[in-house]
Amino acid sequence: MNKQLALERTKALTNCANDYHQWHPTFMLGEKLCTVCGVRAYCPLCLSRPPTTARLIPCALHRRERRAGV
């Protein structure tokens, strides 16, 4: 890993620590994976029973609904 990449990764991990993950949708409905730190998040509205230890983040679709509702 060269210095530039190491710096980029450090920055990305700092973002993760501040809860700015780089979410990437997975093949599973409502599941997102952070490509930097590997943490998974689930949309509580897509999944009726998301894993209890998981982060709950509404997907793009449900986020919009939620904003309109609140």
Tokens read off for 62: 């449900």
6-37: b or e for each residue (b if 16 or more CB lie within 10 Å)?
Answer: eeeeeebeeebeeeebebeeeeeebbbbbebe
Using the rule CB under 5 A, give the single segment among 2-10, 25-33, 48-56 that binds Zn ion: 25-33
Between 2 and 18, name the residue whose CB sits nearer to Zn ion: 18
Out of 16, 33, 54, 56, name the contact with Zn ion by CB under 5 A.
16
Residues engaged in binding Zn ion (CB under 5 A): 16, 21, 30, 34, 36-37, 43, 45-46, 59, 62
